[in-house]
Amino acid sequence: MTEESKEVKSLNFLEEIIETDLREGKNGGRVLTRFPPEPNGYLHLGHAKSICLNFGLAKQYNGQTNLRFDDTNPVTEETEYVDSIKADINWLGFQWASERYASDYFPQLFQFAKKLIQAGLAYVDDSSAEEIAAQKGTPTEPGTESPYRNRSVEENLDLFERMKAGEFPDGSRVLRAKVDMASPNMHMRDPLLYRIKHAHHHRTGDEWCIYPMYDFAHGQSDSIEEITHSICTLEFIPHRPLYDWLIEKLEIFPSHQYEFARLNLTYTVMSKRKLLKLVNEGHVSGWDDPRMPTLSGVRRRGYTPEAIRDFCERIGVAKRDNLIDIGYLEFFVREHLNKIAARVMVVLDPDPIKVVITNYPEGQTESLSIENNPENPEDGSRLVPFSREILVERDDFMENPPKKFFRLAPGNLVRLKGAYIIRCDEVVKDADGKVTELRCSYVPESKSGEDTSGLKVQGTIHWVNAADAVPVEVRLYDRLFKVEDLSEAEGDFQDYLNPDSLSVVQAFAEPAVASIKGPYQFLRKGYFSLDTDSTDQKLVFNRTVGLKDSWAKDQKKK
RNA sequence: UGACCGAUGGUGUAAUGGUAACACAGGAGAUUUUGGUUCUCUUAUUCAGGGUUCGAAUCCUUGUCGGUCAACCA
């Protein structure tokens, strides 16, 4: 045994629970988790945490994970969502053992309900929604019993069958568990088990007009599938006594529920309800708008599954509320993209400055070989055209530069990335004093890779050959909201939307962009991805995340 | 004025009665044909009071603060 050579890795509380169960031989050493989305919206980064946990834990302990759609509310659920959810999970890199639907269990659930009725533990209640709400009492006051609470088993059975048969209109009756109206736990005050909804279900069609509530579907589905560890978020803690009560009374497989703190990120919202609202009110272009924290959104933006998985692993899991800096996620995105992104030069400026290299022969063009990724030489190199006239960003020139400005300025030497060292000799302006052209001279023996000039320059800038510059559209994204903590913000969350979360800029790219597939690093600018809006006529790029920019940070401080 | 859950650097997460650590962020420097990357160094932490103990972030107790729960949603 190499026990002592093993690194002591600390366990999170879920790993501890599982290891204890395994040690005690619970469930015969079997670990089966489930990921249980409701198909009423797109998956977001909060779900990513849950997916990584459920699938990750199972994998870690030689177990498996079921994908189960919690489709018990036909009015909000759609097949479109089912498809997107499956695509997102696969994209994240996980495979489920079995694809299940709570709706598959409707017949079984109906039998469970009858069993409860027969045991005198459930009853049909004719009270209205308002009356039931009033009966529930408040967190500080006990509830009162429904006048229908003590119907006979026979009457309950008859009524429940007739509910199923469609004899009653929506809202006229419900099936309730008979637990304890005085319980300090609101969820134990005779919770609703079934309600009448004459609605078309995305899978069962019009077969049913009564549908089980979450509390009578989720735990029972877990049990039917013999899920060993049912992992959910903190707000379900008060449901756990009911979860256990139903399993005990039904005498079915004892799945167990464990709760962790959901993911919250700065400058964004993470609830399907709010995200739906952003989509419906047109604040974003859709569920996959690159500013959205949905998986389809961040995918389109250029985040990688690897980065998201690393992030989820690194943030850990615990039971205390948290608000994680969105910058932490961005760190993992940069870390991964730095290793794989193809470097290209793009002048990110609709109004670039033309640089004329006065001592370079007119009409001559040469091809320079530039590495695609200095982090990974195996990625090879590409050819980049260079000639007498090139384009550079206006930000890379200053007529009266501050100390430590290493870019173009009158008399300054800079290296053109992958090309030559140039000196700015003359600034040409128009009648308004706007700089229209820089006249520079190049040092022929400073060619990249074969530099014999002996010159040392402090700055290197990117550029594109004027004659070959490809006009492209680049979409720059900023945080979706103006405030860090939306949970602290008063009023409507839409009031805090950042009006500058999207800016579109026309830019000029080196010709190679058209033939290289992303992800890209636009040199000195950031990581970018090709957007799905691209056409043969026009390439559209999304800024995934910017590069760290210590120069800009320093400037800001001043 | 109930029940339940929680409280460790700026943000997350460890330390499971025995030297409070790791990542990010912040700061300083080195390297660099990306003001990127990489490397080195560095600032900063146990909610409060009481108790148990040789020894407490950890156990007990009281309090404080934060969160959750009163959908025919999940």
State, as a whole number of angstroms, the distance between the CA of A324 and the C1' of B47.
Answer: 21
Structure ipTM over 0.95, yes or no: yes
Is there a binding annotation on residue A40? yes
Q: Which two tokens stand for residue A355?
A: 């640089």
Give residue for tokens 């001559």.
A364
Contacts with A558 (C-beta within 8 Å, 6 or more apart), sequence order: none
Q: Are A441 and A457 in contact (CB under 8 A)?
A: no
Domain ranges of chain A: 13-260, 346-462
Chain centroid, CA A175 distance in Å: 38
Q: How confident is the model at residue A554 (pLDDT cuts 50, 70, 90)?
A: confident
A10 CA: nearest nucleotide by C1': B14
pLDDT at A187: 97
Residues of A designated catalytic = 38, 262, 272
Quick one: which H or E segment has residue A57?
helix A45-60
Residue nearest to nucleotide B35 (CA to C1'): A551
**Residue A419 and residue A529: Cα distance in Å, rounded?**
26
Q: What is the 3-state secondary structure (H, E, C) of A82-148?
A: HHHHHHHHHHHCCCCCEEEEHHHHHHHHHHHHHHHHHCCCEEEECCCHHHHHHHCCECCECCCCCCC
A544 backbone dihedrals φ, ψ, rounded to 5°: -70, -55
Percentage of chain A modeled with pLDDT above 90: 96
Q: Give the 3-state secondary structure of residue A78.
A: coil
pTM of the model: 0.96
Is A26 annotated as a binding-site member?
A: no
Do A73 and A195 contact (CB within 8 A), yes or no?
no
Q: What is the pLDDT of residues A168-226, one digit of tens each?
A: 999 999 999 999 999 999 999 999 999 999 999 999 999 999 999 999 999 999 999 99
What's the Å distance between residue A296 CA and nucleotide B13 C1'? 28
Chain segment A1-35, per-residue pLDDT in tens: 233 334 567 899 999 999 999 999 999 999 999 99
Report the distance from CA of residue A322 to the C1' of nucleotide B59 in Å, as an integer.
26
SS3 percent helix, strand, coil of chain A, rounded to 5, is 35, 25, 40
Bridge partners of residue A141, in order along the sequence? A138
Short-list A77, A114, A36, CA closest to A204: A77
Nearest nt to the CA of A418 via C1' is B33
* Residue A529, annotated as binding a ligand: no
| Residue-wise pLDDT tens digits, A237-255 | 999 999 999 999 999 999 9
The confidence band for A555, taking pLDDT boundaries of 50, 70 and 90, is confident
A432 marked ligand binding residue = no
A346-462 maps to which CATH number? 2.40.240.10
Measure A554 CA to B32 C1' (Å): 19
Helix axes A305-315, A326-340, angle to 10 degrees: 140
Query: By three-state DSSP, how is residue A396 classified?
Result: helix
| Range A13-260: architecture per CATH | 3-Layer(aba) Sandwich (3.40)
